[in-house]
Structure formats: structure tokens, C-alpha cells
């Protein structure tokens, strides 16, 4: 069972690239961020033609998340709980019972706020959003189910996760508060998939469009997959589809995926 996450940076601009990747990688479940589309304009038919069930939580021009699954959804939850006034479309969650299996998984797809500039309301929103995410995670962990929390976290966890960490010292992605909140979330009982398989350097998921970042491999790792203990028991391997960044009209992020025992 292959479960993937990818910030596609606009479904309208990136539709052909996303479809090509789905055909190549064939994930059973895919979590997409920054679809930048309202629900009614999302090109669901193109994904359905590839055999995917589609659920979205969209927003015009900004944000937006989507779930694709080859198996039907048993349950879908839109919006991160904890703030009824939050109108930003950054979270969607689905429960999927796998075909030809008695197993089900709960998948939370997130697009965590960027938080820049630091010291302002956007940074405060980022940290409060992470607090709400921790509360939700605790509830799901208590249920002792196979649960994955994956997406664009907009957090660089450690200096090794950036080619040039000094360049990020004044950025919300690398602030001590952001990194601490990510550690607190992971330490609730999750396994961070990529770092469970490698402690190596130059493992990145994002390369800016500016200053030849891709050509210089000047990247950062901000797209993460967290596995509950029950999901960790099924964990086989994971990977980063770095080559997709070199395709025509790429996103500045690349897909990250895990394989779980079916």
C-alpha cells in the first residue's frame, strides 16, 4: 500500500505533471496540497479516469488540499478542529478501507501555515495551528489506529534538513518555536518516516524557483510523513521522488511516499 504526499503548487498549472506522476508512481492514496482551487472547479474527472476517488477542501486562489484514493472513502473530515473562525483550507482527513483487505487507514493531509514574517500575526497563526494539530493528533493516537499525518509542514526540523541553514535563520520555517512544535508533535508517539530510514544529509523535498536552487541542489526538507505506532508496525519503506522536480512545469516541491504492508 503506497501512500504519498505532494504540494503541487496549483492544480490548474500543474495538472499534466500531476497526472504523469500518478501514472508513473501509482500510489494507492495521494495527499495533495496547494491545489489553489475551489471544490467545484477541481478537475476531478481527470483523476477519476485514473481510478481515483476524489475529495477536496478547496479555496479560491490559495491553499486547498485534496485526497485521492483507489479505494472508496469511509469517512471524510474537512477543516482542522479548534477554531471555527479559521477559513483557510489547510486540512482534510479520510478513513479508507482497503480493497481485498480487512485493514483501514486514517490519513490526515495538511498544509501547515508558512508563518512569515516572524513576529507578526502570520507567525502566531502558524504556532496556534500547530497547537490545534497536536490536540487532534492526540485524539487519534488514543484511538490506536493506523494513522498517518502527512503533507507540507513548512518546518525545517534540523540544520541537516537545509543545504544552507544559515540562510533560513530569519525565516519562520526554521525558527526555534516552529521546530520545537514539530518535535513535540512527532514525540507524541509518531515515527517520522524519512528519518527512520536515513540520517543522511542533502535529503530535500523543496527547491525554490529562484537563484538556480534546483541546479545547485540548494534545497530544504519540509514535507514530512508521521506514522502512528499502528502504522509504523506496517511500515516497509519510503522515498522521495526527487526526479519530478526536473520535469517540465514542476512544482517547487516533490512527492514523498511510504509503503505499508497491505
Residue 154 known to bind ligand: yes
Q: pLDDT value at position 1? A: 94
Alpha helices in 44-115 (DSSP H): 44-48
pLDDT in tens, 42-73: 999 999 999 999 999 999 999 999 999 999 99
Q: Residue 65 in contact with residue 89, Cβ under 8 Å?
A: yes
Q: Which domain, by its residues, includes 81?
A: 2-260
166 marked ligand binding residue: no
The secondary structure of the chain in percent helix, strand, coil, rounded to multiples of 5, reads 30, 25, 40
Q: What is the mean pLDDT of residues 5-32?
A: 98
pLDDT value, residue 97: 92
Contact at 8 Å (CB) between 98 and 27?
no
Consult the annotation and say whether 34 binds a ligand: yes
Q: What cell was used for 14?
A: 500543474
Question: Does the annotation list 248 as a binding residue?
Answer: no
Span 250-256, average pLDDT: 98
CATH (domain of 58): 3.60.10.10
- Looking at the 3D structure of the chain, how many domains does it have? 1
pLDDT number for residue 262: 79
Residue 74 marked as a ligand binder: no
Where in the sequence numbering do the catalytic residues fall? 111, 152, 253
For 197, phi then psi, to 5°, come to -115, -20
Q: For 70-124, how does the pLDDT look when each residue is reduced to its tens digit (9 = 90+)?
A: 999 999 999 999 999 999 999 999 999 977 677 899 999 999 999 999 999 999 9
| Assessment of whether the complete model's pTM goes beyond 0.85 | yes
Amino acid at each position: 500500500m503506497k501512500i504519498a504526499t505532494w504540494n503541487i503548487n496549483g492544480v490548474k498549472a500543474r495538472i499534466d505533471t500531476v497526472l504523469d506522476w500518478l501514472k508513473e508512481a501509482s500510489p494507492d492514496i495521494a495527499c495533495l496540497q496547494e491545489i489553489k482551487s475551489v471544490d467545484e472547479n477541481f478537475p476531478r474527472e481527470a483523476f477519476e479516469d485514473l481510478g481515483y476517488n476524489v475529495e477536496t477542501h478547496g479555496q479560491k486562489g490559495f491553499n486547498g488540499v485534496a485526497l485521492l484514493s483507489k479505494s472508496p472513502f469511509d469517512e471524510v473530515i474537512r477543516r482542522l478542529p479548534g477554531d471555527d473562525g479559521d477559513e483557510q483550507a489547510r486540512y482534510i482527513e479520510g478513513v479508507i478501507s482497503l480493497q481485498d483487505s480487512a485493514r483501514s487507514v486514517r490519513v490526515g493531509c495538511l498544509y501547515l501555515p508558512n508563518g512569515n514574517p516572524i513576529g507578526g500575526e502570520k507567525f502566531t497563526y502558524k504556532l496556534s495551528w500547530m497547537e490545534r494539530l497536536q490536540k487532534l493528533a492526540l485524539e487519534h493516537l488514543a484511538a490506536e489506529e493506523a494513522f498517518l499525518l502527512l503533507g507540507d509542514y513548512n518546518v525545517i526540523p534540523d540544520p541537516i534538513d537545509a543545504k544552507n541553514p544559515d540562510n533560513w535563520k530569519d525565516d519562520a520555517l526554521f525558527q526555534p518555536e516552529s521546530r520545537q512544535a514539530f518535535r513535540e508533535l512527532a514525540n507524541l508517539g509518531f515515527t517520522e518516516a524519512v528519518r527512520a530510514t536515513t540520517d543522511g544529509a542533502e535529503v530535500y523535498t523543496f527547491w525554490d524557483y529562484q537563484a538556480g536552487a534546483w541546479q545547485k541542489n540548494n534545497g530544504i526538507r519540509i514535507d514530512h510523513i508521521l506514522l502512528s505506532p499502528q502504522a509504523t508496525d506496517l511500515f516497509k519503506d519510503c522515498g522521495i521522488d526527487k526526479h519530478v522536480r526536473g520535469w517540465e512545469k514542476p512544482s517547487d516541491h516533490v512527492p514523498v511516499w511510504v509503503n505499508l504492508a497491505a
